[in-house]
Amino acid sequence: MTKTLFEIVSTVMNIPIEKISDISGPNSIPDWDSFNMFVLLDEIEKEFDVKFSLEETLEIKTVGDFRKKLEEGNK
């Protein structure tokens, strides 16, 4: 899952995959603005076949938050 998640972040945020970790977010990724964050959310939802609620969406601040939400969904 990590690999796919990082790959999506890398494509959407236009950043090499080596530079991505769980703490990556708007502070470390220059392209991470609110719109790209939403594009990212959309692609992650499609790839993992999940739907985040609006509330969950607003809680997500970093790549790690995405991972946590996806893991919660898998339980």
Partner 1 sequence: MPSEEKLSSYLNKSKLISNSNYAKKIRIAILGGFTLNGLEETMRVKCDEKKIQCTTYVSGYNQYNQEIIDEKSQLYKFSPDITFLIIDCRNVFGELFLNPYSLSAEERKQFVQTKSDEIINLAKTLVKKSNSKLIISNFSIPSYSPIGINETREEFGLHDMVRSLNQNIKIGLRLEPEIFIYDLNSFVSKFGEHNVFNYKQFFYGDIRISLDYIPYLAQELMGYVTAVLGLIKKCIVLDLDNTLWGGIIGEDGFDGIKLGDDPIGRAYVEFQNNLLALNQRGVLLAINSKNNFDEAIQVIKEHPNMILKEDNFACVRINWNDKVANMKEISDELNIGLDSMVFVDDDPVNIEYVRSNLPEVASIQMPADNCHNNASNLKSMTAIFDMLKLTDEDKARNTMYLEQRKRAEFKTQVGNLENFLKQMNISVNIKNADDFTIPRISQLTLKTNQFNLTTRRYQEEDIRKFSQDSKKIVECAQIKDKFGDNGITAAYIVNKDNEQQWTIDTFLLSCRVIGRGVEDGILSHIIEKARKDGISQVRGEYIKTEKNQPAENLFVDFGFKKEGDFWIFDTNDQFKKPKHLVIS
In whole angstroms, the minimum distance from the beta carbon of 59 to partner 1 comes to 13
Contact 60, 2 (CB under 8 A): no
Q: How far is CA 8 from CA 3, 13, 48, 58, 75, in A?
A: 9, 8, 11, 19, 22
Residue (28 or 57) nearer to partner 1, CB: 57
Our CB check for partner 1 shows the closer of 35 and 74 to be 35
Should residue 71 be labelled a site residue for partner 1 when binding is judged by CB under 8 A? Answer: no
Dist CA 60 CA 58 (whole Å): 6
Question: What are the residues binding partner 1 (CB under 8 A)?
Answer: 11-12, 14, 34-36, 38-39, 42-43, 54, 57
